[in-house]
Structures are given as C-alpha cells and as structure tokens.
Structure 1
C-alpha cells in the first residue's frame, strides 16, 4: 500500500520546528503534541489556555502542563503581551543522544540568581537546561529511567533536589532508580525521599550506595516478618519499615520471636497492634529474652506469681501495662 499527500491540503500550511520530530516526537505525550500543533497553527493570534482547551477538548490544567513542557525544552517562549511565541529563537532542547554512562562532572554555567521562587517555574527550568549540561543530563536520564515525559511539577522537583537539597546528579539518579523499583515514582514521594536523604547528609555515590544497601536490608527484614505473620505480600508502610529495622536488625530478634509477640498482642487486645508488639519486644530486649523458650518460661513464671497472689492485693500486671502504653488503633498498613 502506498500513500500520497493531496495537493489541496497544501493551500494552507504552517511551520513546525524540526526539533519536534528530531528530539521530542517519541517522548512527548499526545496532549503535548496536540497543544503545540494547535499553537503553531495559530501562531499569529493571541489566545489563552482556555481557548486551546476548548478547541482540543481537554482541561485547562492539561493545556498548562503541556505548554510548560514545551517552554522547558525551549520550543516555546512566554511573555506578558502574547500567550505563545512559537517563532521565537528556539533555545537548545534536551539532546536526544546524550551519553548515558556517566554524568558530566563539571559545567560552565551563567550565574544562577541567589533568590528565586521556592519551586522553579518553567522559564527558570528552561534556562537551567540551556545553561547546564549536568541539568540536561539529569532531565534526560530521569525521563528515560521513569519511562515517561517529565511533567512540569516533576522537572521543578528534580531541579529543586539538585539546587536546593544539594543532591548531586548521580545520587539523584540512584534515588530515582530506587523509587522506580518500589513502584512509587510519583513526584511527592520522590521529593520526600530526597528530603530525607538530604537531611541524612547523603551527598556522594558511596553514601547513596550504603543507604540503598541499608534499605534493602530493611526490605528483607519486612519480608521475614510478613512470612512469620502470614501476611499477604505488599509494600510495607514507613512505620512497618521502622519496626522491621528495629526488631530484626537493631534488636536482633528472630521472626519466631516477632510471631510470639504477635500472638500475645492478639490474645491481649484481640487484634494486631504494632505499638503493642513493640512494647513486648522492647521489654524482652531489655530483659535479655531472645528465644521462644525463654519467652515461654517468663510467661509461666508470671502466671505462677499471679496465682499465688492474694485476691485482695493488686499485683503488677505486665500485660496491662503494655496494653495501656500501646497505641491500640495503630495497625499494620496504617500510619
């Protein structure tokens, strides 16, 4: 089957930048392509986001996101007198063939303003991409790693991670690989992890490797707890990760001891409670109880003491203390 262009269609034409096909046709989303083509067709007119949204049958927010993408890659310019300037001198786009093996270690950039808005906007992002080979590399790597075009919000977050949090490009890429492996590569989670890493002072490749090794150990600890408690496989919450780290890695309890604490939690309050289990395991840690046999002996001795106590005297009840101290509503899977 062959194709031909109908001559009548060429009576009205408009220009399309070569970079659209050369660098972005595979990476841009359908909405981004539609918005740019519509804007190019109406390049000599003044129009608004609302007008584009009405013409294309999409929301205004989708139009804004799409237009910010083209601003950040340098195919569209924005000014106060006209909504879109497609024929402005195009800035340098993110190169399609930038080497992927290593990030540039040095860059010649123009001075970045000392004061700017808390989250960089599309124009500022475009300037940084144009000025910095390192930032261009970060944006391209993030786009390929996540397997989708970067939204303006994510581009802004990545730039803030680099400029404000101080994470180097290679560390940020390792962070993105980590969140992608967890299936939690949304913008808010990426920023939360980056903030935690910055607060921990992770600023080198070796420190990031050690952090990832530690997180892998915690994940394996959770899997052991998951099996011991016969829970369905799922991603642990942050609280579950913290308890996994404490119980198995810090206090060195076996999964069998965690199961014993679980059984006592259910016997005492009728349901599973992280806080109640933690109180039990914390007491065992302080008292040097490390095996199910020792835990059973402790329970037997406590029961014998309670039986010997006179009815009119109130005895010290460890289970009652643990029950009162624990935050009963705090269940697995809830923060």
Structure 2
C-alpha cells in the first residue's frame, strides 16, 4: 500500500520540534502527544488547562500531567503569572523587619529546592576536567554509559549536576544508567531527574539504590496493571504510577482484584475510570476484602439486602456513592 500527503493540507502548517519524534514519540502517551500538538498549534494564543481539556475531550488533570511531562522533557516552559509573583493590592503592607536581636528563630526550615542554574561554558568545563580527576572520570564514564560522545550541553549539565545540585559522581552515574534503561537519556530529562533527586536529598550510593529499587517496584506494578486491564504497553502518567503504587504496593491487592474493580467500574459507568476503581479498592482495603471470592460474596450480600428493601425505603447504595465520588474522570486516555 502506498501513501501520499494531500497537498491541500499544507495551506496551513505549524512547527513541531524534532525532539518530539526523535526522543519522545515511543515513550509519550496518547494524551501527552495530543496535548503538545494542540499547544503547538495554538502557540500564539493564551489558553489554560481547561481550554485544552475541552478541546481534546479529556480532563484538566490529564492535561496537567501531560504538560508536566513536556516540562520535564524540556519542550515546554512553566511560567508563573506576574500577578502570582506580586502581592495583591488588597493585601496589608509588610511589617517592618525586627532588629536582629529580636528576630524569631526559624525552626526546622526545609532547605530551598534546587533551581535551574546557569550552565558552565566550554572553557570552564575544559578547565575543570584538567584540574579534577573526579570530573574527568565522570565525563569518561558518562560517555561509556550513554554510548555516544558528550555534547557541550550535556557536559555542562553533568558538571552542574555535580557542582550545583550536589550529586556525587557515583550517584550521577547511577542516574545515567537509570535514564538509559528507560530510553530517555536526553539532556533535559537527565537534568529533570537530577533536580528531583537533589530535592529529595538523594546524595549517597545507598539512597540512590533505594530510590532505583522503589522506581523499579512501581514500574513493575504498572506493568502488572497493564496486563490485568489488557492495556497496550506505554509509559504511565504520574497519576497512573501513584495508583499502581497504592493498589499493589501499599494496599497489597493482587492484579486479579484490580481487574475485578475494573469490571465493576465498566459495569457501573460504562467506561474505564481509575478514580472509580480507586473508590472500590479503597473500600475493600478498609473492609478487609482481599480476594475475588470475598468481593463476590460482598456483592451478593449487598444485592440481597437491596432486594429485600421496600420501595419506599431509602437505602445506602455504595456503588452510587462511588459513582458520585468519581465524577472527575481519571482515565487512561479514554475519557
């Protein structure tokens, strides 16, 4: 079969970054791709998460997740509105600062999170490599791990991760192994992961091993849910990872129980909804229902009680409560 592009469609075009195809088209979810393409098409306009959600037929939460992916990938910049950075006119004036002797002592203030920092230039990088055997080792090992020469941008990022984010060489190399295993070893993603690790205080080999072990567990949990729900393999969103972690790792449900919750979700509302499934599983976890047999017995007992109730009596319908509690859709690209 032969395909061709219809010339009439080229009367109106917009630019798409090459990185979308080169680095992300395999990893990004359908929602993530749709959101970015819509945003690129309307790049000269002002829009909100709700605007995109209405245009694509998905939820604002899904748009938020998708945008966060592209922010971490370095293709979208997250801007703070000017009014959010300035005090409102209605706010009272700031109180004058207390003298140093009378200033209250701050207790257990968390450290300020690392911010995006200016990157070192090529000359400075060359000097650091010549002066520091540690930095020289970092650059050599990074090149071996990634299987390609380091670009100037990546070299400066690695140096910034070491000098400014404070990640030791062994931790940085573990981070590179991790992103390489995910097939997402582009410079922007490496920096985003390093920033997250620095914010979490991961600064030792042991802490990095524990972080990677946890991420591996969450990834395996998601794969089990993919199989249980018969979903096509893809990269999960942040919300999907949180549900995977909660259902399989925290609440210790089996994939069979997740499938049972899925079946009830579809029976009740006619579509897959993670938020609806979460309500069901949350109730089962609270009531100690851990096997498909117990779930079937609970459903049978509930049906019997509802059947015996008189028409004029108001009964407490758990499924109706769960439907109402899951009004905000939270789907795998299907709502």
Query: Under TM normalisation by the shorter chain, which class is it?
Result: 0.5 to 0.7
Q: Note the alpha carbon deviations across 1:210-252, whole angstroms, 9 max, x for none.
A: 2222222222222222221122233333322222221111111
How many Å separate the matches in 2 of 1:322 and 1:144? 52
**Taking structure 1 as reference, are residues 227 and 158 closer, same or farther at Cα in structure 2, changes over 3 Å only?**
same
Alignment pair present for 1:150 and 2:150: yes
How many Å separate the matches in 1 of 2:202 and 2:315? 50
* Contact 1:146–1:185 (CA under 8 A) maintained in structure 2: yes
Range that drifts further, 120-129 or 282-291:
120-129
* Contact 1:130–1:136 (CA under 8 A) maintained in structure 2: yes
Range that drifts further, 203-212 or 280-289:
203-212
Pairing of 1:1-335 with structure 2 (within 5 A): 118-122=117-121, 123-326=123-326, 328-332=328-332
Q: Point out the structure with max Rg over C-alpha.
A: 1
**Taking structure 1 as reference, are residues 299 and 120 closer, same or farther at Cα in structure 2, changes over 3 Å only?**
same
Q: Note the alpha carbon deviations across 1:99-136, whole angstroms, 9 max, x for none.
A: xxxxxxxxxxxxxxxxx992223144333333322222
Equivalent position of 1:6 in the other structure: none
* Contact 1:237–1:333 (CA under 8 A) maintained in structure 2: no
Aligned residue-pair number: 220
* Contact 1:225–1:258 (CA under 8 A) maintained in structure 2: yes
**Structure 1 unaligned runs (5+)?**
1-115
Structure with greater contact order relative to length (CA < 8 Å, sep ≥ 6): 2
**Structure 2 unaligned runs (5+)?**
1-114
Q: Note the alpha carbon deviations across 1:37-68, whole angstroms, 9 max, x for none.
A: xxxxxxxxxxxxxxxxxxxxxxxxxxxxxxxx
**Taking structure 1 as reference, are residues 159 and 296 closer, same or farther at Cα in structure 2, changes over 3 Å only?**
same
**TM-score normalized with structure 1 length:** 0.60
How many Å separate the matches in 1 of 2:238 and 2:211? 15
How many Å separate the matches in 2 of 1:334 and 1:237? 14
- What's the CA shift for 1:320? 2.1
How many Å separate the matches in 1 of 2:227 and 2:185? 26
Range that drifts further, 216-225 or 125-134:
125-134
- What's the CA shift for 1:257? 0.2
Coordinate RMSD, CA, aligned: 2.4
How many Å separate the matches in 1 of 2:144 and 2:178? 14
**TM-score normalized with structure 2 length:** 0.60
